[in-house]
Amino acid sequence: MACTDSLTTRLARAATHAAGHGLAWTRLRRQVYQAVLSAGRPIGAYELLAALEPLVGRRMPPTSVYRVLDLLVRHELIHRIESKNAFVACCEIGQPHQGQFLICERCGETVEIPGSELAHQLSASARALGFELHHQVVELTGLCAHCRAGAPG
């Protein structure tokens, strides 16, 4: 599903979620989240560092940004796109779910999609085989409608 709420609404929802889960919504955490959200596509940590520099007035140490990214992932505010080693804002903050994404190979558009039935089926299959599942992400790659129509990507 494409996230259709405004940037302001999504920022407010993230702040409310953080407060409700005892997470201090520090200036740096808000800035990192806002940069991921504003990118509108998966963004890597080093690209994020460059985007944050004008906001914070200095070059941030990569470890600081990685710590914030890890925290935002743990609190389900963002997702890590494993195949790209990049991060994207979560569309379903506060609703427990597993990350499932459609990723365009040409333009990089990444859309979070619903699919609780698939997530449950995969988890059940893992349990049936005696596998203890710790993390689940489904990434489907192909071409988005725009790229399939032949538009340059």
Q: Which band of pLDDT confidence, cut at 50, 70 and 90, is reported for residue 6?
A: confident
Rounded distance between C-alpha atoms, residue 80 and residue 87, angstroms: 5
Q: Is 73 helix (H, G, I), strand (E, B) or coil?
A: helix
Cβ contacts of residue 92 below 8 Å, gap of 6+? 112, 114
Q: Looking at the structure, tell me whether residues 74 and 129 fall in a common domain.
A: no
Is residue 94 assigned to a domain?
no
The residue to which tokens 């709420």 are assigned: 5
Residue 96 — pLDDT band, cuts 50, 70, 90? low
In a domain, 75, yes or no: yes
Domain count, the chain: 2
Report pTM: 0.83
DSSP 80-149: EEGGGTEEEE-SSTTS---EEEEEETTT--EEE---HHHHHHHHHHHHHTT------EEEEEE--HHHHT
Of 69, 89, 109, which residue constitutes the final position of a domain? 89
Q: What is the CATH number of the domain that holds 122?
A: 3.30.1490.190
Over residues 99-138, the pLDDT tens digits come to 789 999 998 889 888 777 888 888 899 999 999 988 778 8
Tell me, yes or no, whether 153 lies in a domain.
Answer: no
42 shares its domain with 14:
yes
Residue 151's pLDDT is: 61
Residue 72 sits in a domain of what CATH number? 1.10.10.10
* pLDDT over 90, % of the chain: 54
One domain for residues 84 and 122? no
- The answer, yes or no, to whether residue 153 has pLDDT greater than 60, is no
Distance (Å, whole) CA 54 – CA 85: 23
Residues 51 and 125 both lie in one domain:
no
d(CA 114, CA 128): 24
Range of the domain at 132: 99-148
